[in-house]
Amino acid sequence: MLYRAVIVKILVTGSNGQVGHDFKCLAENSRHDWICFDRKGLDISDEQQVADVIARERPHVVINCAAYTAVDKAESEPDRAFAINAYGAANLAKACQAHGAALIHISTDYVFAGDTLAPYEESDPTGPTGIYGESKLAGEQAIAEYLERHIILRTAWVFGAHGNNFVKTMLRLGAERDELGVVADQWGAPTSAAGIAACCLAIAEIIDAKDCAEIPWGIYHFTGLPSTSWHGFAEKIFKDAVAIGLLDKAPKVNAISSDQFPTPAKRPSNSQLDCSKIFNCFQITPDNWEDRLLDVLKLSL
């Protein structure tokens, strides 16, 4: 990734989430001017509060990590999901437009139907199959409508040392059970929260260092590599957890189908995202999630 020795005033929303938490870690060792807000400090669904905070702080770049991410719960709470993921994104875009700030917004693979075989490119047709994906797509569309200076970063299968995620769930189940079933017919690429934070910081520095006209604004994909299934991800988690002494032994992981594990919201069969555009435009390469996973597991010791 490309980093420049410039001082940027960066405002981060959702600082208590997985990715937002990693920005707080970056801020401790960065020369940049950081303002990190959790939901209590800045509720992005409150249009007036967003306008007031952006006007007061005058950041160069806003990084939006605030999101409603309860995929299944969104099916019964559509108003709440849209309030944060769609209208909250619109509020930030309007405030950034009013005060000359750029916006980096984190989105998701759920904007796609997930029914293809090849990795999705940024220009591929969207088609969310649930409320969460619909609300995130509406947020993308609102940002594009209200603000030219934006980067939308779609990612997938996020894990980190902070918050709830698949890695934490597997470690808990692995300590409790000798055997479990994990879906093997959904494919994607695990992506570390730390990698997403580093990617956003690199883009923020490029934005501040270049003329606005030189920045290729728009949508980008960023995930880890290599691709795997949830079953493959689980097996790697257990293998590494045993190797470093986090678990005494690995449970047997049985491969099951999506039909055997029904959920209120349909999961994409294919969550793979093509990340060539972000390399071509920003020279940012995907992380090796296996290396990042080991870092996360060591923090759990």
- Positions annotated as catalytic residues are 132
Three-state secondary structure readout of 153-209: EEECCEECCCCCCHHHHHHHHHHHCCEEEEECCCEECCEEHHHHHHHHHHHHHHHHH
Report the chain's terminal Cα–Cα distance, integer Å. 29
104-to-143, 172, 267 alpha-carbon distances in Å: 10, 33, 25
Q: Mention every residue, 6+ apart, whose C-beta is less than 8 A from residue 279.
A: 285
User: 170 with 246: CB under 8 angstroms?
Assistant: no
User: DSSP 3-state assignment of 296?
Assistant: helix
**Distance in angstroms (rounded) separating the CA atoms of residues 29 and 185:** 40
Structure tokens at 60: 């160069």
Residue from 119, 163, 144, 137 nearest 272 by CA: 119
User: DSSP 3-state assignment of 92?
Assistant: helix
**Distance in angstroms (rounded) separating the CA atoms of residues 114 and 56:** 41
- Paired with 229 in beta bridges are 187
**Distance in angstroms (rounded) separating the CA atoms of residues 115 and 269:** 6
